[in-house]
Chains A and B, each alone.
Chain A
């Protein structure tokens, strides 16, 4: 277990570092580095924000940290990879279809839509199943019980992938050509970064509207305020919770596919660090608050990239954990959250 995790860390560290070093050569060109790290940070922040939405949604309704959410993210990467491989396998879907997917831009868009949709749906359903079997029996148990159960689910899923899929990192094929869109004096933005950012913002807008405007969204808000009272008003609590456990993991799954594309590989333990960091993002923004999760994701992503660029890539995880601890100590309600009063 141990060496595997540090390999993952090294992978991402190297990616960050090489990006920083390539752009700068030496560190005196700090304005460019700053802007480039900001751009990298915003991309990373978009990924964190997508995952953080899942944490915050589940926490808002269930008041529990879904520790297994990082594995939802990981599963998303794998599901995306398998669907992508299946759809571009000529013996499976036919030569013509693959040519269509790869040849035209419409085909490419359809291919990616299918990859993302299938990752979202499969992982969402996985989330629902996990809720049904691991968390629902514990709804009236002491607070620690669901958390321990969630850790169990997380370990189980990680090792299921390790044993039944692969223990090594699988390369994620770059079907979409990643083109540099903006190149201004050493600062570059590529199409994937823009895609991640746009998708994240779009999904947040949709989710925000869904929760604040629709009938089901109202039911979710009611459930998060007072589960029992909401039940008495005729809301099907189980359905609402299941829905939260579908949407959250689905978003995490999408983030997993993006992560695979961005870093070029998926691995069984890829969820651990992004998971913890996204939880940090959710806490920074104020857990239970959707827009807060988004804000927290970007804040954390940017801070982490700056730390990687200006301090040392080895310490960027320490920065994230230190921020988590500081926020919890000094502003446990988060930036946009309300302070929670302990109920007796």
Chain B
């Protein structure tokens, strides 16, 4: 593990954008905005939809990244927060609709969003408090059990709120359109030539909502990573006992990790419910939790670009192949197309095993973790060898690392 002084310096200096980086970011931004508009224009709606879903998974992965990547707590029940956000958000939205009348409809999603986030955060604390003392693998199993309990309770229609396996909204109820969607659908219409007929759609709306939420998540997560809390997470992840002995409050650090991670699960959950216009317990199985863990592991624990790449690979590519096959763009028959989606789990299992053996840091490791292994900046290397030299010649402390 590198010295923390070195870490902060590079991380901060890394945030000053060079011209090259600025151009790359501008290109990415343009693609993020224009590609779905292009797909919408040529009538490939499913591609827009896939992009929206990938956006939600990016958010989930970034949220789980706080818990797994930053704080080093393996959470196998993360999808429970997704479920909490979706169900609480929809139920609260329903109450709002009844209280304020149908004219409040367009604002329900936005008003319910903070409630969903808070509900998820509270669930995170409710889960975090009892499991504070548990170590890595025990924690993983308990969170798995917690996720399953939440799903089973929802399926069994606990308190008569969740409508069991049939899901929400109930027959006769609906999730109202959010603000601006109707207007955009009517007015954002244009054509270029014969083959490009753009009309704003639900999918596009939720795609852009997902992108904006992802940007918010990235902003918050980056700030968190550099914050005092983020650094205490790193210390805790590397060695809990040592971190506690230098005055880091492990209890509060863990609870913050659980609740701040859960918030993004809740936000993504409510967005998902609105995107789908429907929620049911089917969407919140253990496999979904594994899915998100897989994204984080594949991309690189603690890495923001890693989470994005992981979501695209794990959620985007299989859906893309299936969608392309269904729309007849790829010459695959339906049997072959469904094979792609069937085999993906098999491949994911294999990928998890191989990644752990070959490249445990992930495809795009976080700067801090990568640096621990390969300091590529010469100045840092010099500083490091200097401090190493000092350590070797001044203090003869044996390092008992178990």
Contacts and interface: CB of A to CB of B under 8 A. Distances in A.
A141 B348 CA distance: 20
A149 B352 contact: yes
Contacts of B290: 151, 155
Interface in B291-340: 293, 297
A151 B352 contact: yes
B287 interface: yes
A142 B138 CA distance: 15
Given A163-B346, A342-B241, A328 B356 contact: no
A317 interface: yes
A2 B149 contact: no
Instruction: Bin the interface of chain A by size.
Output: 35 or more
B357 interface: yes
A1 B345 contact: yes
B353 interface: yes
A65 interface: yes
Contacts, number: 145
A195 interface: no
A174 B350 CA distance: 35
B interface, by DSSP: helix, strand, loop or mixed?
helix
B72 interface: yes
A154 B156 contact: no
A137 interface: yes
B145 interface: yes
Given A65-B141, A155-B290, A324-B141, A149 B357 contact: yes
Contact of B138 (A153, A156, A332): A332
Of residues A1, A145, A146, A272, which shows the largest number of chain B Cβ atoms within 10 Å of its Cβ? A1
A120 to B, nearest CB: 24
A141 B360 contact: yes
Contacts of B240: 342
B360 A276 contact: no
Contact of A314 (B74, B145, B156, B241): B156
A184 interface: no
A5 B144 CA distance: 15
Contact of B287 (A1, A149, A153, A325): A1
Contacts of B350: 152, 156
Interface stretch (B93-101, B127-135, B198-206): B127-135
Contact of A321 (B149, B156, B357): B149
25 contacts: A5-B286, A6-B165, A65-B140, A137-B357, A141-B356, A141-B360, A143-B136, A147-B136, A148-B74, A148-B297, A149-B356, A152-B349, A152-B356, A155-B290, A156-B349, A158-B345, A159-B346, A162-B342, A276-B145, A317-B152, A321-B148, A321-B149, A322-B149, A332-B133, A332-B134
Given A133-B353, A148-B293, A328-B131, 9 more contacts: A6-B165, A64-B137, A138-B357, A144-B140, A145-B360, A149-B352, A149-B357, A272-B286, A279-B141
Interface of B: 72, 74, 76, 130-131, 133-138, 140-142, 144-146, 148-149, 152-153, 155-156, 165, 240-242, 282-283, 285-288, 290, 293, 297, 342-343, 345-346, 348-353, 356-357, 360, 400, 402
Q: What 10 pairs between A and B have smallest CB-CB spacing? A: A152-B352, A156-B349, A155-B349, A321-B145, A152-B353, A159-B346, A149-B356, A2-B285, A159-B345, A137-B357
Interface of A: 1-3, 5-6, 64-65, 133-134, 137-138, 141-149, 151-160, 162-163, 272, 276, 279-280, 283, 312, 314-315, 317-318, 321-322, 324-325, 328-329, 332, 342-344
